[in-house]
């Protein structure tokens, strides 16, 4: 597929770019075309070095608007505080038959711990994915990847034996994004219901970070485990 990564010069974006470039055409968007092209070249070299002649995808750097227009799926990897303004500025380039993926985790740090911090303001209690959905209607939004640590994704040697929780209201969009999750080896997509559940997916990330801080874990993520009777 043709996939646009917005905020692709950040950690999450670079990891997804390299992972997907095995079989997909990735368009890294940036406000600066030069910056996008430099990043694309750096990641392209990394991907080609790793995948060698197995690589069927590509990595191209473009200005944000051009990257969106070139793509079927648009993945938003902005920092939470920049998300609303950036999506508002760029939504005019989106079409109804595209799919937007939100990986955004709205949280803030207070003292030494992290807390979910709605982009909808104090009263709104809204998830980032729902706030984005309101901005980009009628393009469907799927919430995904929040609990996958960027450090895992970016270590191309790392085996990602993890679960990715997905929320969304559009079944076709959910199926396509589930497939994209599976295209990262060993990631398992798990649908958990409509987009209104995204808040509780997004809120798992501050819990994981706090678990790491308070219990001495490193880059924690989640795996949903089944019933395991003893043999």
Query: Which residues of the shown chain bind a second copy in the complex (CB under 8 A)?
Result: 113-116, 125, 149, 151-152, 155, 157-159, 161-162, 165, 190-194, 196-197, 199-201, 203-204, 206-208, 210-211, 214-215, 217-230
Is the Cβ–Cβ distance between 5 and 25 less than 8 Å? Answer: no
Smallest separation, CB 87 to a second copy (Å): 24
Torsion angle (degrees, nearest 10) of CA 209, 213, 215, 217:
60
CA distance 47 to 57: 10
Smallest separation, CB 159 to a second copy (Å): 5
Residue number with CB closer to a second copy (37 or 212):
212
Residue number with CB closer to a second copy (37 or 196):
196
Residue number with CB closer to a second copy (96 or 157):
157
Tell me if residue 60 falls in helix, strand or coil: strand
The label of the residue with tokens 């470039």 reads 21
Residue number with CB closer to a second copy (85 or 182):
182
CA distance 127 to 105: 8
- Residue of 35, 103, 98 whose CA lies nearest to 68: 98
Residue number with CB closer to a second copy (92 or 226):
226
Smallest separation, CB 200 to a second copy (Å): 4
Smallest separation, CB 188 to a second copy (Å): 9
Tell me if residue 211 falls in helix, strand or coil: helix
CA distance 168 to 11: 24
Smallest separation, CB 62 to a second copy (Å): 32
């Amino acid at each position: 597929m043709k996939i646009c990564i917005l905020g692709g010069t950040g950690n999450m974006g670079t990891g997804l770019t390299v992972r997907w470039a095995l079989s997909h055409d990735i368009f890294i968007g940036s406000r600066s075309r030069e910056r996008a092209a430099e990043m694309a070249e750096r990641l392209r070299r990394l991907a080609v070095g790793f995948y060698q002649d197995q690589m069927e995808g590509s990595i191209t750097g473009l200005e944000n608007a051009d990257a969106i227009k070139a793509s079927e799926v648009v993945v938003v990897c902005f920092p939470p505080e920049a998300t609303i303004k950036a999506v508002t500025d760029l939504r005019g380039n989106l079409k109804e038959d595209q799919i937007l993926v939100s990986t955004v985790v709205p949280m803030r740090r207070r003292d030494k711990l992290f807390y979910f911090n709605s982009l909808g303001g104090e009263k709104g209690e809204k998830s980032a994915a729902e706030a984005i959905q309101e901005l980009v209607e009628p393009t469907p939004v799927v919430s995904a990847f929040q609990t996958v640590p960027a450090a895992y994704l970016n270590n191309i040697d790392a085996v990602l034996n993890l679960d990715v929780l997905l929320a969304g209201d559009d079944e076709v969009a959910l199926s396509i994004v589930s497939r994209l999750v599976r295209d990262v080896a060993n990631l398992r997509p798990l649908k958990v219901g409509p987009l209104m559940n995204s808040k509780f997916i997004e809120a798992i990330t501050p819990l994981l970070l706090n678990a790491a801080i308070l219990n001495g874990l490193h880059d924690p993520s989640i795996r949903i485990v089944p019933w395991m009777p003893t043999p």
